[in-house]
Structure formats: structure tokens, C-alpha cells
Amino acid sequence: MEIKKVESKVVFNNTQLLLILILKMFIGWHFLYEGIIKLANPAWSAASYLMYSDWIFSGIFHAMADNSTILAIVNFCNIWGLILIGLALIFGVFTRIAAIGGAALLLLYYTANPPFTIADSMKEGSYMIIDKNLIEMLALILIAFLPSLVQVNLKLVKDFINKKIHKNKEKESQPEHPCREVTKEERETLERRNFIYSLASIPFISAFTWAAVRTNAFSKPMAIDSISGATTRTFEFTDLKDLKGTLPRAKIGNVEMSRMFMGCNLIGGWAHSRDLIYVPSLVKKYHTQEKVFETLQLGEQCGMNAIILNTSLTPLINAYWKETRGKIQFISDCAGVGDVDKGIKISIDNGAATCYIQGEITERILRRGESFEIVGEWIEKIRRQGVPAGIGAHSLEVVKRCVDIGIKPDYWVKTLHHINYWSAKPEERHDNIWCTNPEETIEYMKNLEQPWIAFKVLAAGAIHPNEGFKYAFEGGADFICVGMYDFQIVDDVNIAAEVLSQQINRQRPWRC
């Protein structure tokens, strides 16, 4: 008995065909929009998304982010890959190639950051293994392996022919007529139908353009979610392309730090705004957790690898490390929890790279006339934990007292700024001056052998970085700690890098 192989063919009706077209255009819209947003935002980079990777091939993704040349290629391919895939899907050209390319791109997104390695607070929704990247990838694979639109339309034409044949009453009783070859006239009809289908993309792309303009997508940078498959976190106000130099680094003990790093007053809402009583609340409103994370990430990308933090902010830095895979080090002031011994323990337990005794604590001891021996005990306690220990001060008298009784920290954290700004009135201190005797400070610190971290170098915003940074480094500071908003970071790093690249007129030797 002869068995004949029956070839099965996929049959689509008009409704099914319309749904396929809609699915294809919707995915195309998503890809095109993601690509256009990145192209319109010069600050966008895939670096953060690559650095988040914590699964298989994470080492490769991290290496791509660390190499500026490779990263530039990745950014270019990502942007234009999204745009071209989106256009191809919307207009129906090279659909199969575009669908396979889009699926491959989504697979890379998923491999770099699968949902089960991302912290819940960074997810767009609630999921464990299946996310939108995986779903959209499978949809594109489906589109790629479906018959092409031409094949689908050809089938519709053949079905139309069969219906015409079946309508002939003389042949109603006959078996179903097999699909015959399509004539030249029928192919012309097919081509016209394909042309009509392609015209469906015109109102679709028009709606896309209107929506994009409506949301100002092409006129301003947008803050984009870090976990979206076809995008990554980006930054407003600043442009990493404007970064002109790099910050040199030096060591305090075994801790390597950039010569300029970040302070936490703005992040914590301590604005030192003098008589502008609304500013602290405004600063706190601005610095949401997301904004803090963006600020720290941008700081890291610009070369700053440390931040001074109050002990009360240790949960924030731990969340940052966990959720963004950031590597910025934190220097703890051991304050904010009401007890220095407790502050030291909390700081060490939460990963502090080094600890120092906050200036307000040492000055309180000085004002009360208490023994400074306790400061020496705290220093030794910190050292026993295996990290460098420092002493902080606004007043030079604290430093002098420690030197007089033989306390030798691993570094000093001492204020330094000039007083040539209009609100600097030492006799009427209203949260407006932090180094009342800068010249005496420079002269005294010149003879100390320990590294010196200078802070309040901009007098809480009263001094321009062009003046403050140069003054601090020429005055003998080995490092400067600067509080800054995200939109100030690139400019501040450029200024500091330029100052440090020049011949600095300083009498104090570099102590590290």
C-alpha cells in the first residue's frame, strides 16, 4: 500500500493576519522608541546595565563596560540596532532578519540581567524567571518562523480563487479544488495587496511621531529605568561626553582613594543653607533613593571611588551596593547613632573602608574640657578592626590638642577654605563659615606627616570650584571631599582634574 506524504500548510484568515501585523508593529514601536530615546540623549550609556550583570558571562559584560572603545561600539550597535529593527518591523521589510536580530538582542539583555539576579526594588513588576524580555523574545521568534507576509497573502489569494470556484453551482458536488498556480494577473493583485498592507505602517509611524513629540522625547534627556530590557539607567543634566580628564588616586594605609571624592551632606539633607530655611526640605525632596543611586553611579563613572557618610546612612550605601552592583567605598564619620563605640561597630559591620571621629564630636570634647584620651582609644579601636583611623575637626585647636598629647591618627579630616566671600563673618557665625583661620591652618598642617582630607572647601556653596579646589590643594590638602548634586559632578571632576594636572604651588609635600 502506497502512503502519500501530505504537506500541511498554515492557513491564516484576515483576522489572524491583522493580529500578526499589530503584534509586529507594536514590538517595532517598542524597539524604535527605545533607540530614538538613546540617540536623543547624549548622556546615555550601556555601561551601568553591563556593570549590573551578576550571572553567567558577567565577567565579559564587566570587561565591555570597562573598555571605553568597546563600550562606544556597544552603545552604537545598541542604539542603531534598536532603531533599524524597529523600522523593519513597522514597515515590513526584512521582517524575518529583523525578528531574529531583535530576539538575539533581547536574549543578550536577559543574559546580562535576568530577573532572578535583580533586587526586587529595582524590578518593574513582580516576577522571578519570566520577564518582558523573554516574552518579547519569544514573540519575535514566532514572527520569524511564521510564513512571510508574502506567503500569507499568497495563501489568501489562493483561498479567494477556491471560493470563486466553489461558487460555481455546476461544481458544488465536486471535491475541493486544489490550489493552482497563481496567474500574472493574480500576482499583480497580490502585489497591490502587499502594498496596501505596507501602507498600514504610515498612520502607525505617524502616531509614533506624534506621541514622541507630545512627550518631548526628542527635545530633552529622559531618565530611563535601569531594568528595562532595551535600555539602562541614564542621567539628566550632565553629559559624560564632556568629561575631560581623570582623577589621580593615592592611598591612606591600604585604602586607595581618588584625590577628590564625594560628601554626603546634600544626600542626607544637611544643606548648610544659612538663613534659607526651606532649602533643607527641598534638598531632601530632590534626593530620593533613585536620585542618590544615580548620583553615586555618575560619580563612579567620573572616577570618584569614595564618599564620606554619616553612620545613619549605612543602610543606604548597602542598598546601593546590592541593587546597582556599585563599588564606591564609604568613609564613616562614626556619628549619627548617639554613641561613638556603637558607630564604629556599625560602620565596620557595614563595610566601611576607613573610619574617623567626626569633627563635631571632637569639638564637643574640646568645649567641655574633657580628656582627649578617649579620642586616642577610639583611634586604636578602629585600627584593631584592620582599617585606617582618622580624626576630624572644624577647629584647628582639636588638631593641636591631639598632637600635643601624642595622638597620631592615620589621617586628618580638617576644613579648609578661604574667607573672601561676602557672608564669611567669623564674629557672627550663622552656619556660614567653617574655617575661620585658613592661613594658620595651612601653616600648621604643613608640618604634619599624616595625609590630610580637606572638607568644606567650597564653604557649602559660597565659593566657586575654580577657586576652592585650587586653594585646597595648594594649601596642602592631599584629598578633598566635596558635596555635589548630580548635575555638578562632571564639571567638578573636570575642574579638579585640571588643577591636579598642573604644577601646584604648595609648600606642604604630598603625604600620600
DSSP-derived 3-state class of residue 390: strand
Residue type, 83: I
Which sequence spans correspond to the domains of the chain?
Answer: 14-170+179-214, 255-501
What is the per-residue pLDDT for 63? 87
Specify the pLDDT at position 47: 76
- DSSP per position, 62-85: HHHHH-HHHHHHHHHHHHHHHHHH
Q: Which residues contact 85 (CB under 8 A, 6 or more apart)?
A: 28, 31, 98, 101, 102, 105
Q: pTM value? A: 0.60
Buried b (16+ CB within 10 A) or exposed e, 99-129: bbbbbebbebbbbbbbbeebeeebeeeeeee
Distance in angstroms (rounded) separating the CA atoms of residues 438 and 415: 9
Q: Between the CA atoms of 64, 69, 72 and 76, what dihedral angle is there, to the nearest 10 degrees?
A: -100
Residues 243 and 302: their CA atoms lie apart, in Å, by 7
**Residue 209, pLDDT score:** 62
Q: Are 55 and 117 in contact (CB under 8 A)?
A: yes
Give the pLDDT of the chain (512 residues) as one tens digit per residue: 454 544 445 556 778 778 888 899 899 999 999 999 888 877 677 876 787 688 898 889 888 877 888 988 999 999 999 999 999 998 888 989 999 999 999 999 999 989 888 655 455 667 788 988 999 999 999 999 876 554 555 555 555 555 655 555 444 444 544 445 556 665 555 555 555 555 556 666 666 666 655 555 444 444 434 334 444 444 344 567 888 888 999 999 999 999 999 999 998 888 888 888 899 899 989 998 889 999 999 999 999 999 999 998 998 998 888 877 789 999 999 998 889 999 999 999 999 999 999 999 999 999 999 999 999 999 999 999 999 999 999 999 999 999 999 999 999 999 999 999 988 886 666 788 999 999 999 999 999 999 999 999 999 999 999 999 999 999 999 999 999 999 999 999 999 999 999 989 999 999 99
Say what angle helices 14-40 and 132-145 make with each other, to 10 degrees: 130
CA proximity to 385, closest of 251, 257, 254: 254
Q: How far is the C-alpha of 364 from the C-alpha of 366, rounded, in Å? A: 5
Angle at 396 between CA 247 and CA 473, to 5 degrees: 20
User: What's the CATH architecture for 255-501?
Assistant: Alpha-Beta Barrel (3.20)
The pLDDT score that the predictor gives to residue 58 is 86
Give the per-residue pLDDT at 21.
83
Closest to 292 (Cα-Cα) out of 329, 274, 265? 265
**Burial 309-344, CB ≥16 within 10 A → b, else e:** bbbbbbebbebbbebbbbebbbbbbbbbbeebeebb
